[in-house]
Amino acid sequence: MSKEIKRVAVFTSGGDAPGMNAAVRAVVRNATHKGLHVYGIYNGYQGMIEGKIERLETKSVRNIIHRGGTILKTARSKEFMTKAGRQRAYDSLQAFDIDGVIACGGNGTFTGAKIFHKEFGIPFIGIPGTIDNDLYGTDFTIGFDTAVNTAVDAVDKIRDTADSHNRLFFIEVMGRHSGYIALYTGIGSGASGILLPEKSTDTKELTDALKKGLKRNKLFSLVVVAEGDESGGAIQMAEKIKKEFPQYETKVAIIGHLQRGGSPTCADRVLASRLGSEAVNALISGKTNMMLGIINNEIAYTPFEDAIKKAKPFNKDLIQLAEVLAS
């Protein structure tokens, strides 16, 4: 039988994502409601190693649901990648009699949790917190909706100046290995082209599409580029294309870390609240070594092994939709 859960810890790890605070709040509120003691681990796995752990109560998470970033901070830890580092982390958890841990992060976070559980048997439940929306086992990750809305707002503003000056803009959004932000931003902002890591970049295809726009007397164009696109990003792509379009003044805008910050959208707050609360229920019911997600608006459980190694299916229908709408 699994050990009765009386004390749980929660931490955030990897890149910060809007909505992490809402997830922490839900963990604390539901765990307290269930009569559990809750502890926050500061600075991710490094904080676990260093024993930066403190009791969290309902008042500890007041007025944070609307805040971006994470009150528990986040950090990457090379020391945790060593057996000695993980032993120190285990000793820290033992000092506080922690029975189970809830980790909010992405692939690296869940890889560490899987190894740690195998070595020491501490139950772990993962919550997908990453703006990239690249984790298998969930339709959406915490922070993705906010990042896309931030990017669309930025592109809308760029559209105004592009229209005023007859410019061709290449706009780079985050997504080193995943094109979800670029795809949704491109569709949502009416971009003339979208370049993704999941799809081979056809320079001629993009050039032809932009030329069609010119024939329709289109006075400006916007191309959204994921930073991980094989073409090398917005700067390199702009250099390749601009000589074909002397009619346009070609410009580049890199939105960057603006997409990581800001107040989370309602969608991210609700998603984080659902997953944070359910993570507590999962530990109490004896589940471990798995990630929680949302599939077809229902809670779904995915083993860490699958969440880490399996590729998230990319929606080809959305790519086709983007091409049709841009034509």
Residue 3 has pLDDT above 80, yes or no: no
CB–CB of 287/301 below 8 Å? yes
Report the CATH architecture of 147-260.
3-Layer(aba) Sandwich (3.40)
- Span 31-75, pLDDT tens digits: 999 999 999 999 999 999 999 999 999 999 999 999 999 999 999
Q: Extract the tokens encoding 289.
A: 């070594």
In degrees, to the nearest 5, what angle opens at C-alpha 139 toward C-alphas 138 and 144?
100
Rounded to 10°, the helix 234-241/203-215 angle is 60
Q: Which of 246 and 153 is assigned the larger pLDDT? A: 153
- Token pair, residue 19, equals 């909505």
What integer pLDDT is reported at residue 153 of this predicted model? 97
Region label for 272, one of left (φ > 0), alpha (ψ between -120 and 50) or beta (otherwise): alpha
Per-residue confidence band for 2, with pLDDT thresholds at 50, 70 and 90: low
For residue 127, give the H/E element and its range. Answer: strand 124-128
Looking at the domain covering 7-143+264-309, what would its CATH class be? alpha beta
Q: Choose, from 16, 99, 132, 145, the residue flagged as catalytic.
A: 132
- Mean pLDDT over residues 230-245, rounded? 87
Q: Taking residues 197-209, what's their average pLDDT?
A: 85
Residues 253-309: pLDDT tens digits? 999 999 999 999 999 999 999 999 999 999 999 999 999 999 999 999 999 999 999
Tell whether pTM > 0.85: yes
Distance CA 11, CA 71 (A): 10
Q: Under a CB-based contact definition with an 8 Å cutoff, are residues 271 and 143 in contact?
A: no
Instruction: Determine the pLDDT at residue 176.
Output: 84
Cβ burial 213-223 (10 Å sphere, 16+ → b, else e): beeeeeebbbb
Confidence tier at 1 by pLDDT (50, 70, 90): very low
**Closest Cα to residue 226, out of 176, 170, 169?**
176
Q: What pLDDT does 314 receive?
A: 86
The structural domains of the chain, with segments of one domain joined by +, span 7-143+264-309, 147-260
Active site residue 99: no
Q: Which residue has the higher pLDDT, 246 or 291?
A: 291
pLDDT at res. 232: 76
Q: Do domains 7-143+264-309 and 147-260 have the same CATH topology?
A: yes
Q: Checking DSSP bridges between strand 100-105 and strand 7-12, what pairing results, if any?
A: parallel
What string of DSSP letters covers 70-96? -TT-----SGGGSHHHHHHHHHHHHHT
Nearest to 237 by CA among 185, 170, 158: 170
| Mean pLDDT (whole number) for 245-259 | 91
